[in-house]
Amino acid sequence: MITDERGAREYVAGLADAEAVERLELLIRELIGENRKQNLISHSSEQNVWRRHIADSAQLLRFVPRGTPGRWIDLGTGAGFPGLVIATLCPQIPVILVESRIRRVEWLTRMVEILGLANCRVEGKRLELVEPFEARVISARAFAPLPKLLRLSAPFSTSATAYLLPKGRSAAQELAEMPTKIRAVFHVEQSLTDSDAGIIVRIPSATGGVPSP
């Protein structure tokens, strides 16, 4: 379990080269500065940004091999978590950040440019208006309740799509309330950054796509 800032930074550094860590440090500086202008993250989490936001995002790579081909779409990315972190750590993965709020879109676009993330682009619109494509990974952090999330993400999902959905303390309860056919293909993993939090996960298999909720 990652319990402090030092441990969080060491965890992320173990997944990245020195250049990527420098980019993440730049992201943090820009994030805290922008947080004075718009509420990107809670002010209380600024003191624990490596654990609460950077490592919390990076831990999703436990479930996806680093060399996995295909596009990663991050739904309702907000301040860019986990999407900006994944794009920084994995320059070989095309990452698409979906966000409809104008000020957040402006922030994300600026950060993609500042961080030099050639593998990352921003879709500044509602998910329903994004042209569908086959995603290799779908992630979402506090985007929508699970039934709505699965419905909206369906156009991007195939039998080869992984779902990585950090849900905090509600993970087990949200999944338990889903139909049996959904519970059969999803499960909850323990978060490494919060002993009370869970991640709803679907690992691709040959059994077909995600059933409709």
The least confident of 26-30, 55-59, 191-195, 200-204 is 200-204
| Section 182-191 average pLDDT | 96
Is pLDDT at 207 greater than 50 in this prediction? no
Amino acid in position 6: R
The owner of tokens 């040959």 is 206
Contact yes or no for 81/141 (Cβ under 8 A): yes
Give the pLDDT of residue 68: 73
Alpha helix positions (H), 35-170? 49, 56-58, 83-89, 102-114, 146-153
Q: Are strands 198-202 and 187-190 parallel, antiparallel or unpaired?
A: antiparallel
Indicate the pTM of the whole model: 0.95
Reported as a pLDDT band with limits 50, 70 and 90, residue 16 is very high
* Contact of 85 with 23, CB cutoff 8 Å: no
- CA–chain centroid gap for 142, Å, is 10
The helix (run of H) or strand (run of E) holding residue 164 is strand 162-168
Share of the chain above pLDDT 70, in %: 95
Average pLDDT over residues 61-69: 82
User: Who contacts 47 (Cβ-Cβ below 8 Å, separation ≥6)?
Assistant: 5
Does residue 20 carry a pLDDT above 70?
yes
Is the model's pLDDT at 174 over the cut of 90?
Answer: yes
Domain 5-158 CATH superfamily: Vaccinia Virus protein VP39 (3.40.50.150)
Residue 208 has pLDDT above 60, yes or no: no
Strand pairing report for 71-75 and 162-168: unpaired
pLDDT for residue 206: 43
Q: What is the DSSP letter of 46?
A: G
Average pLDDT, the chain: 94
Q: Contact 89/58 with Cβ under 8 angstroms?
A: yes
